[in-house]
Amino acid sequence: MTISKVIAKIEERIPLQQAEDFDNVGLLCGVPSRNVSGILVCHDALENVVDEAIERNCNLIVCFHPIIFSGLKSLTGKNYVERAVLKAIENKIAIYAIHTAFDNDFFGVNRGICDHLGLKNLKILQPKKNNLKQLTVFVPKDYSEKVKEALFNAGAGNIGFYDECSFMVNGNGTFRPIEGSNPFSGQQNIRENADEDMISVIFEDYKQGQIVNAMKTAHPYEEVAHQIYSLENTNHYSGLGMYGDLEEPMNEKDFLKFVKEKFNLEMIRHSDFNNKKIKRVGVLGGSGASGIRSAISKKCDAYLTGDVKYHDFFLAESKMMICDIGHFESEQFVTQQLFEILSQKFSTFAISKSIEKTNPVNYFI
């Protein structure tokens, strides 16, 4: 199987269009047409990980963080990024990054954190806005099921944990073919009355091209009457962060001990104790100070993330305990999650988890 086909399979499960605009996801280096000998899954595609891929005969590295984040103006090996990329290219190893596409996935990074904490009633902390659209198309009644099936197969009609969702109304449509037309029914210059169904489906904006193409292919008319609307609805199944409830409330010190044990942490930086029970917990893997206000608005009692700055801790304002458990530490389950996803998708070549250390932060206790 080629690298491009492997990537297509991965993106069926984790679409790159879910990624944030600032991110640099996808195939960072490598030849898409090359056959895959093995896949190495890692957190950061550093030089020692590339060495590991060489040793394991893996010519595709699937990493969480993109090793190339901003543009490279030269490639001479003068820093850790260039050394890793150079070694990968010289050894014909491709590097593919998933990053915020997996951050925004309902079953991605933050779901992994919540599962390890045993949280229930899970919801997205910062759900995506302005990424839902609605398609309405008018179809002759005998072709309604064919067009609906084509729309569903192209990814339309997915709402949360339901798919093949649509709404249909029957009515009477009119049209008059004029000179130059090649009508499916009727004659030129004579108004036609048609028994038609109006089919309506919702979809995520990045699917628009494939959905419109599928609709037109399945539709019998030469000119397909349809409208596409941008919706103001919030997408509650995609976005950054997540929150949920513990089975039983804990006092603050017991909660910190619980987190420390679950994440195998050396330390936790946290805001002041508020002398309240911890029941609702918000999480955002990586650098998540941007989610503090959202967590407070969702009535979270505690918020776990990484890279919290000095002044960010003031935002707690006795409403919530902010816990900085570390950037890497909050994302530590990602490699296992990606490994499991890829293992389900592919069985014809080896998939390995990196055992190399890539966390640049160390602690002296």
- Each residue's pLDDT tens digit, 73-96: 999 999 999 999 999 999 999 999
The predicted pLDDT at position 70 comes to 87
pLDDT of residue 251 exceeding 90: yes
Instruction: Write down the mean pLDDT value for the chain.
Output: 96
Burial of 183 (0-12, 13-18, 19+ CB in 10 A): middle
| Confidence band of 185 (pLDDT split at 50, 70, 90) | confident
Determine the pLDDT at residue 365. Answer: 78
301: CB partners within 8 A, 6+ apart: 276, 277, 278, 279, 280, 281, 320, 321
Confidence of residue 184 (pLDDT cuts 50, 70, 90): confident
Q: How far apart are CA 59 and CA 50, in angstroms?
A: 9
Q: pLDDT grade, residue 349 (50/70/90)?
A: confident
- Measured from the Cβ of residue 271, the count of other Cβ atoms closer than 10 Å reads 22
CB 165 within 8 A of CB 157: yes
Res 248 pLDDT > 90: yes
47-55 helix and 80-90 helix, angle to the nearest 10 degrees: 20
pLDDT-derived band of residue 259, with 50, 70 and 90 as boundaries? very high
pLDDT, one tens digit per residue, over 207-235 is 999 999 999 999 999 999 999 999 999 99
What whole-number percentage of the chain has pLDDT above 70?
100
Average pLDDT score over residue span 287-300: 98
For 115-172, how does the pLDDT look when each residue is reduced to its tens digit (9 = 90+)?
999 999 999 999 999 999 999 999 999 999 999 999 999 999 999 899 999 999 999 9
Please give the average per-residue pLDDT across 16-28, as a whole number: 96
pLDDT surpassing 90 at residue 108: yes
Reply yes or no on whether the pLDDT at 348 is more than 90: no
pLDDT of residue 347: 83
Average pLDDT over residues 309-335: 97
- In the predicted structure, residue 243 carries a pLDDT above the cut 90: yes
The b-or-e profile of 43-68 (16+ CB within 10 A means b, else e) is bbbbbbbbebbbeeebbbbbbbbbbb
